[in-house]
Amino acid sequence: MTLDWKIGGVLLGAVFFVAVLLVKPIGVSTQFVIFDGMIANAMSPDFISQTDDGYTSSNAYMAKSGGKYAKAAANPLNYGFVFVIAMAIGGAVSSYLRGGVGAAERRLPEVWRANYGDTPMKRYLVAFLGGFIALYGARLAGGCTSGHMMSGTMQTSLSAYIFMAGTFAAAIPTATLLYKKG
Amino acid sequence: MQILLALVIGGAFGFMLDRIGAANPNVITGMLTLRRMNLAKTIMLAIGTGSILMFGGQMLGLVDVGHMSVKSAYIGVLIGGVMLGIGWAASGFCPGTAVTAIGSGRKDVLFFIAGGLLGAAAYMVTYPVWKASGLLDPIAGGKVTLGAIPGSGYEAIFAVRGDILGIVIGAIFVLVAFVMPDGLVKSSDGAKVPAE
C-alpha cells in the first residue's frame, strides 16, 4: 500500500532532515559515475592513480575537484556509495514487506500496457534510453531529483529552482504525449 | 560511523521512496501527466518539512550550518534538467527511484540502470567539451541561496535572512501540498491504471 501523503511526506521530510543533521544532504546520481569509475579501473588499472596528496584519474571528470570522484571510486566503502547500496536494500525490504510487485507488473508497468499493449522489448528499450538521457542530464546538471529537487529546494538553492524549471518544462509534455491513456 | 549512517539513512530513504510510490512508474507517470498528484503532495510536504526542521534547528543552534551543501548554478543545470525530465517522463524512473526499485523484481528498471551507467559514462567522456563551452561556468554567483543564511558562507540573491526565508518557503511548500487537488488533469477513460 502507498502511504497516505500526509504521513509519507512528514516521514520522508524527517529522512531529509536527519541526513543533513548528521551528515550532508541526500544525493544519488554521482554514484553512477563512481560505479563507472570502479568498472573502468577494474578493466584498466591505471584509470585511477594515487598521487602525493590524494587521487587522480586519466578521465578529466573523475579527476576534477581535487580527484574526489577518483578517490571515492578507489575506495568503494565510502558514505555516498554505501548510501546508494542501502537505498536498494531499503527499497527491496519495503517492497517485500508490502507484498511485492505482481508478475504482470514486473514484466511491464500497467501504464505502459494501457498505452502500448504487451510490448516488453519496446518498454525495455525506452527504459534503457530513458536511463541514458536521465543520467547524462543529471551529471550535466550536477545532480538529479534527489540532490537538486529534494535537497537543493530544501536548502533554498538557486540551482535547484533552475533545475526544476528545466525538468518540469520537459517532463510534463513528454509524459502527456507518451502516455495518453491512464 | 559514517558507513553505519550511510546504511541507516540510505536504507530509510530507499524504504520511504518505495512506500510513497515513487519507485512505481505508474505513480510517476500519473504525477507527470498531472492526473494523480498524490506523489507531488507527498514530496512537497517532505521538502517543506525538511526545510522547516533544518532552518528551525539552525536558528536554535541545534543543526550545524556547515552540513549544508549548495550546488552551483550554471546554464548546464537547465539543459541537464531538461534531459533528466525527458528520461524521467519516458521511463517513469529517476536515478534515485531506479536504485530503490532494483530489488522489486521490475525488469524494466534494470534496463534503466544499465542505460544510466552508460549515460553517466558518456558524460564522463564528453565532459571536456562542456567544460570548454562555458556552459558549466557559474551564473548569478554560482553557489547561492535565495536568502543570506547566517554562518553558511553562501552568497544570497535577496538581502533577507536566509533561515527565516527558508522556513517561510518551507511553510509555503506544506500549504501548497494541502491545497493542491488530487488531480489537475482528468484521467482518460481508457484503461484503468491503479494509483498503486
Residue B173 confidence (pLDDT): 98
Q: Is B93 in CB contact (< 8 Å) with chain A?
A: yes
Give the residue among B92, B103, B82 at the shortest CA–CA distance from A127. B92
Indicate the residue of B19, B131, B165 with minimum beta-carbon distance to A8: B19
CA distance linking residue B169 with residue B177, whole number of Å: 12
Question: Locate cell 527504459: which residue?
Answer: A127
> Averaged over B132-151, what is the pLDDT?
97
Rounded to the nearest 5°, which phi and psi values hold at B92? 80, 10
| Measured distance CA(A90)–CA(B100) in Å, rounded | 7
DSSP secondary structure of chain B: -HHHHHHHHHHHHHHHHHHTTTT-HHHHHHHHTTS--HHHHHHHHHHHHHHHHHHHHHHTT-S-GGG--PPPP-HHHHHHHHHHHHHHHHHS--HHHHHHHGGG--SHHHHHHHHHHHHHHHHHHHHHHHHHHTTTS--TTSSEESSB-TTT--EESSSSBHHHHHHHHHHHHHHHHHHS-S-SSPPPSSS-----
How far does the CA of residue A46 sit from the closest CA of chain B (Å)? 16
Is the Cβ pair A166, B169 closer than 8 Å? no
| Cβ atoms of residues A124 and A116 within 8 Å | no
Q: How far apart are CA A90 and CA A83, in angstroms?
A: 10
Considering only CB atoms, A159 lies closest to which of B27, B77, B185, namely: B77
Q: What would the mean pLDDT of A95-115 be, rounded to a whole number?
A: 97
Q: Express each pLDDT in A2-32 by its tens digit.
A: 899 999 999 999 999 999 999 999 999 999 9
Q: What is the pLDDT of residue B191?
A: 46
* A118-131 pLDDT tens trace: 999 999 999 999 99
Band (pLDDT 50/70/90 cuts) for residue B189 is low
pLDDT tens profile A83-104: 999 999 999 999 999 999 999 9
> Residue B139's pLDDT is what?
97
Under an 8 A CB cutoff, do B88 and A167 touch?
Answer: yes
Cβ within 8 Å of A, B 15-74: 15-21, 23-27, 29-30, 32-35, 38-39, 41-51, 53-54, 57, 63-64, 67-74
**Cell, residue A127:** 527504459
Q: Nearest residue on chain A to B192, judged by CA atoms?
A: A182
Helix (H, G, I), strand (E, B) or coil at A25: coil
**Nearest residue, CB atoms, A124 vs list B32, B53, B111:** B111
Return the closest-CA partner of residue B47 out of A108, A160, A55.
Answer: A160
pLDDT at B78: 98
Q: What is the pLDDT of residues A56-89, one digit of tens each?
A: 999 999 999 999 999 999 999 999 999 999 999 9
Determine the Cα–Cα distance for residues A16 and B16; give it in Å rounded to an integer.
11
Interface contact flag, A19 B21, Cβ < 8 Å:
no
